[in-house]
Amino acid sequence: MAKVEFETPKMREYPVIPIIHADAMAHSQPFVASSQHQESLGFPGQLVDNWKEVAIDKMGELLTKYRSLKVYLDSCVKCGACTDKCHYFQGTTDPKNMPVARQDLFRKVYRRHFTFAGKYFPRLVGAEDLTEQVLGDWYKYFHQCSQCRRCSVFCPYGIDTAEISMAAREIMDTIGKGQKYCNEIIGKVHKIGNNLGLPEPALADTLQGLEEDIKDDTGFDVRLPLDVKGADVLLVTPSADFFAEPHIDGLIGYAKVFHQAGISWTLSSYASEAANFGMFIGSYDQMKKIAERVRTAALELGVKRIIVGECGHAWRVAYSFWNTLAGPFDFLDPRYPSPQHIIEFTSDLIDSGGITLDKEANDNRIVTFHDSCNVARASRMGNLPGGQFELPRKVIKAACNHFVDMPADTIREKTYCCGGGGGLLTDDLLELRVKGALPRMEALKHVVDNNGVNNVAAICAICKSQYSKVLPYYGFPRDMIVSVHQLVSNAIVLGDKQ
């Protein structure tokens, strides 16, 4: 791969809306999927000859299947309220990264082919045919959207650019121009069961190694069971938890919580992945197939509950879509929400006294929390709206004495993406990822400078990997990022209950 030279954006004292620079990111695009990766998902291997017609046909089909798409394309008034809300715009200053401009890449083709004004007065309403140039823009700029939904919060009609990016990616897959990173990974899930392509023996090995590590560390026999029939709980977690830092410390944390609560649990080698990249490529079909693995595993293992580990988009798919895609989950114990988030589980145990946390174990840390987009704006935890903000903070505060929030317009529903979500966590998009992290890094710097924050905790595998990668570009130490259950892991008191 040709190494792209780029400058890390300067962190601004007071974030201001940048001046636009046309085509500032026109060189950025991810690798195109090979024919093998395309075909294994049932997409054409390369750009089909009549791609224009196929694309327009697909667009027409999606317009009848998704109300969101239809309504969003019609309703935008170009008020401009969203223009400064995207982290990729702030970090790159490329005008096509303004949410409405990104939508317009799609909307202009929609108008040309599906609206009266666009058919007869294209110039007037900015309608355009789907030319090679336009397709090129689609490929570039719909892969500069992390589907974080921040724009949707601020639009007076809730227009969600993520929905449009998903539709565009689905159309591109259908004409044979898919993205390598996502499609390759989805292929691995279908074949092996997880994004990494980690087969059962390797997984079993890893887990055993972890058990030994915990034993050395704590002296306790904390188990990480795999494929145990009849366990109460099936834990479905992102496969990054099995090997990446700081994810793995989170996994150890879950294991300790289960151990201490005395609840039997298991991982599944068949459904060894919570992530569901089917969402990123906008494919209902792929998303459903991946989700069904979890259902199958739960039935085969005969579990009573399903709990999902720390992962942002995975929690969106699990919370918002699983029941619809692969439900009903009526074979599970109705006393518990299904699925349940590991944070909800731990939070309940803190309340009931099922586990005890010693906050002093984390006294060397001043912690802030990164709200992951998909958890914040596309899901919930607990019974009350906004529980997705409160419960993780509650768990952190139960495990740490020192907690500080980042500035108010960068957290909760207004949280800024880490810069690597939505299927962009690949090295061929490194420049985009570094630049897109700018607003988050500025917010982090604020609490580092003012409050001495030295750790940022997250509940998303993608966020954690992205932070590890981009923190150094902004002069922060790589290991500043921690898992929330890593904090729990440090603080949890193992052994007999007092």
Partner 1 sequence: MSGLTMFFALLMYGAALVFTVGVGWRVFIYARTPAPLKIPTTPAPTTRTGVWIRMAREVVLFESLFKSNKWIWLFGYLFHASLLLVLIRHLRYFTEPVWGWVALAQTFGTYAGFAMLAGLFALWLRRIVVQRIRYISNLSDHLMLWLLMAIALTGLMMRFVAHTDIIGLKMFALGLLRLDIQPVPADPLVLAHLALVAGLMLVFPISKLLHAPGLFFSPSRNQVDNPREKRHLAPWAAKLESK
- Least distance to ligand SF4, CB of residue 170, Å: 16
**Cα 212 to Cα 216, 218, 224, 276, distances in angstroms:** 6, 10, 10, 30
CA distance linking residue 73 with residue 235, whole number of Å = 39
Closest to ligand SF4 by CB, 309 vs 421, is 421
Print the binding letters for residues 9-38 with partner 1: x by CB under 8 A, - otherwise.
--------x-xx------------------
Residue from 266, 246, 273, 269 nearest 489 by CA: 246
Member of 4, 17, 26, 79 binding ligand HEM (CB under 6 A): 79
Instruction: Find residue 266's DSSP bridge partners.
Output: 234
Is the preceding peptide bond at 339 cis, omega within 30 degrees of 0? yes
- Least distance to ligand SF4, CB of residue 87, Å: 7
Tell me: does residue 288 bind partner 1 (CB under 8 A): yes
Tokens of 450: 């003012």
Residue identified by tokens 């903070």 is 393
Residues 310 and 460 sit within 8 Å (Cβ to Cβ): yes
Tell me: does residue 190 bind partner 1 (CB under 8 A): no
Member of 32, 76, 189, 395 binding partner 1 (CB under 8 A): 76
Closest to partner 1 by CB, 32 vs 317, is 317
Residues 6+ apart with CB under 8 A from 224: 207, 208, 210, 211, 251, 255, 267
Point out which span in 3-11, 116-124, 185-193, 422-430 binds partner 1 (CB under 8 A).
Answer: 116-124
Print the binding letters for residues 365-394 with partner 1: x by CB under 8 A, - otherwise.
-----------xxxxx--x-xx-xx-----
- Least distance to ligand SF4, CB of residue 11, Å: 20
Q: Which residues in the 157-186 window bind ligand SF4 by CB under 6 A?
A: 157, 159, 161-162
- Least distance to partner 1, CB of residue 51, Å: 24
Member of 62, 86, 240, 291 binding ligand SF4 (CB under 6 A): 86
Q: Which residues in the 138-157 window bind partner 1 by CB under 8 A?
A: 149, 152-157
Closest to partner 1 by CB, 103 vs 362, is 103
Q: How many residues in the chain?
A: 498
Per partner kind, with CB cut-offs from 5 to 8 A, the member of partner 1, ligand SF4, ligand HEM, none near residue 88 is ligand SF4
State the alpha helices, DSSP H only, in 66-199: 67-75, 87-92, 99-114, 116-120, 122-125, 132-141, 150-154, 161-174, 180-192
Tell me: does residue 320 bind partner 1 (CB under 8 A): yes
Closest to ligand SF4 by CB, 147 vs 286, is 147
Per partner kind, with CB cut-offs from 5 to 8 A, the member of partner 1, ligand SF4, ligand HEM, none near residue 116 is partner 1
CA distance linking residue 250 with residue 490, whole number of Å = 10
Residues 6+ apart with CB under 8 A from 55: 130, 135, 171, 172, 174, 175
- Least distance to ligand SF4, CB of residue 158, Å: 8
The alpha-carbon radius of gyration of the chain (Å, integer) is 23
Number of residues that bind ligand HEM (CB under 6 A): 3
Tell me: does residue 4 bind ligand HEM (CB under 6 A): no
Member of 17, 77, 117, 124 binding ligand SF4 (CB under 6 A): 77
Buried/exposed 287-302: b ≥16 CB within 10 Å, e otherwise: bbbbbebbbebbeebe
Closest to partner 1 by CB, 50 vs 383, is 383
Tell me: does residue 150 bind ligand SF4 (CB under 6 A): yes
Residue from 363, 244, 255, 364 nearest 311 by CA: 244
Member of 77, 117, 124, 384 binding ligand HEM (CB under 6 A): 77
- Least distance to ligand HEM, CB of residue 111, Å: 17
Tell me: does residue 408 bind partner 1 (CB under 8 A): no
Residues 6+ apart with CB under 8 A from 199: 192, 269
Buried/exposed 48-84: b ≥16 CB within 10 Å, e otherwise: beebbebbbebbeebbeebebbeebbeebeeeeebbb
Tell me: does residue 156 bind ligand HEM (CB under 6 A): yes
Backbone φ and ψ for 444, nearest 5 degrees, come out as -65, -45
Residues 275 and 239 sit within 8 Å (Cβ to Cβ): yes
Member of 9, 37, 85, 374 binding ligand SF4 (CB under 6 A): 85
Tell me: does residue 140 bind ligand SF4 (CB under 6 A): no
Residues 174 and 53 sit within 8 Å (Cβ to Cβ): no
Q: Which stretches of the chain bind ligand SF4, using CB under 6 A?
A: 76-82, 85-86, 88, 99-100, 102, 145-151, 155-157, 159, 161-162
Q: Which stretches of the chain bind ligand HEM, using CB under 6 A?
A: 77, 79, 156
